[in-house]
Chains A and B, each alone.
Chain A
Amino acid sequence: MLSQDEVRHIAKLSKINLSDSEVERLSPQLSSILDYFEVLQEVNTDGVKETSQVTGLESVTRPDVIIASDIEEALIKCTPHQVEDNSVKIPKIM
């Protein structure tokens, strides 16, 4: 069972602010999902390799050719914040 404090901790790691009522609602839901995962303990995976991808491709490279992109300005304009000198202006970090 995930405690409400544990849910708050995961939310902090996930950078999601959660209200107390959301924590209350999510905690039993997440717990039941995590409990369900226990079914995997039935499976013997001794000596089984992990599959992280299925293509079999490794270290794919492409020619080191510079391709001009003409959307630099359009990309910066996607920000919801102010733009100054082609940079996004955000609040102080420190």
Chain B
Amino acid sequence: MSLVKKTLKELSTAFQNGEITSREITEAFIKEIEARDAELNVFVTTTFDLARESADASDSRFKNNSLLSPLDGMPVTLKDVVCTAGIRTTASSNMLKDFVPPYNATVWQKLKDAGAVLLGKVNTDEFTMGVSTETSAFGVTKNPIDPTKVSGGSSGGSAAAVAANFCAASIGTDTGGSIRQPAHFCGCTGIKVSYGRVSRWGTMPMASSLDSVGCLAKTAEDCAMMLEVIAGKDPKDSTTPEVAVPKYTESLDQPLKGLKIGIPQEYFIEGIDDEIVSVVDSTKAILENLGAKVVEVSLPHTKYGIAAYYIIAPSEISANLSRFDGIRYGSAAEGSNLEEIYTKTREQGFGDEVKRRILIGTYALSAGYYDAYYRKAQKVRTLVKQDFDNAFEEVDALLAPIFPSTAFEVGRAPDPLRDYIEDVLTIPANLAGICGVAVPVGKSKTGLPIGVQFLCEAFAEDRALNIAHQIEQSLS
């Protein structure tokens, strides 16, 4: 099998057994990227020279018996909202098209300290706001399975990088489905971690109470390897609680016998593709075969999640993105006074979707509207969270579809409200702060990947990965 098609686990094992060098692995991925990225547009910035240097350092460590971790020498990519010292980090926005951060995000620092090799920064919707990477200032990332389709969003670059065999794993972020939806579109596995499980420090914020940093890879086992390195308390992110990081790779083989898994009835919304529903059905059959009990559950406030989210998230966005004022960093427009610099910088630097969300958030937080919108949304958020709390008293995990359709075509007619409503199946998990794994299970008649998500209570990533791994093993 060609090197680049191997899983992270397989590459790591081969490297640590001395069967192959990190430099050989790295060159194989670079060759793949050079052959196909012009077509797919996955990378915003490549860092091949640095990657070769890091790979050589990993190879030296192998010779000296001083490997740092199972990720040592393994080529990865980062969504371009993860700050990398000395390497351009753009958020796929004109606002930051030339921004070079002076420090590393915690998630990259941890990977770097573990010996991972950085191949580059990959595309995202602008400031992670979108469902297709089409809001990126650098153009859409096409789906490697069918380049007439989008790779999804906002972590479309990460999902495409994994699916196109451009890297062994990629860091993404999930604020309302941005890891799970592209994983579903591109046919890879992705983990949305519990809120606070992975440090957000140095990862550009969208909505601070909802943002989570996770990863995408070929398998749940690969995600488990990554998560063991990136999870944990960070003194620089006070929302990371003191919860021990389990050995995720060691609980993957636990049998599912006796596990109770719920299917939320409200997730089979009007208009959902039959093919998506039948993949959930076939996943249910696999689970039952493995000895799990599958039952129906109800999450009655599901449909209100979208409205609550699209008030809360833009409100937080309007506050978070006020830092982009053209003064301290990023692009600046010409202006004769300070006010003009602010307003013109933000006019020219931000794209349409970012402006829409800042405007909605500003409106929702403005005097006279705060109670009707923001406060109401925060209360509905409580009800959405309670739905999950109640469900997890009955079941160990939830099985659900991720998106109402398979990957849609590049250049679909814009309709912001439709895009928001389509997030209905991923948003509730973020409002509740729970974790979930997206895992590819089936294909449409046209050959497009279809994934499902397993949602578990906060800090039960080990269980979600265990279930996903067992499903993958049954399918292989």
| Residues on A facing B (Cβ under 8 Å) | 2, 7, 10-11, 13-19, 22, 26, 29-30, 32-34, 36-37, 39-40, 42-43, 45, 48-57, 60, 62, 71, 74-75, 77-81, 88, 90-93
Contact = CB atoms under 8 A, between A and B. Distances in A.
Nearest to B361: A14
Most chain B CB inside 10 Å of its own CB: which residue of A33, A52, A77, A88: A33
30 contacts: A7-B359, A10-B359, A14-B358, A14-B362, A16-B343, A16-B350, A16-B359, A17-B346, A17-B347, A18-B355, A22-B355, A26-B356, A32-B417, A33-B356, A36-B310, A37-B373, A43-B301, A43-B383, A45-B376, A49-B379, A51-B378, A51-B431, A55-B433, A56-B241, A57-B239, A62-B238, A74-B102, A80-B330, A80-B332, A81-B327
Contact of B346 (A16, A54, A79): A16
B377 A40 contact: yes
Interface string B352-373: 0001101110110010000001
B308 interface: yes
Contact of B308 (A2, A40, A42): A40
Interface size class of B (residues with CB under 8 A): 35 or more
B336 interface: yes
A37 B350 CA distance: 24
A29 to B, nearest CB: 6
A29 B239 contact: no
Interface string B295-312: 000000101101110110
Given A55-B241, A57-B241, A91-B341, A50 B379 contact: yes
Contacts of A56: 241
A17 B378 contact: no
Chain A interface SS verdict (over half): loop
A47 to B, nearest CB: 9
B376 A10 contact: no
A79 B328 contact: yes
Interface string B399-441: 0000000000000000011001100000000011100000000
Contacts of A16: 343, 346-347, 350, 355, 358-359
B194 to A, nearest CB: 9
A40 B382 contact: no
A53 B209 contact: yes
A57 to B, nearest CB: 6
Given A26-B355, A78-B102, A90-B341, A40 B310 contact: no
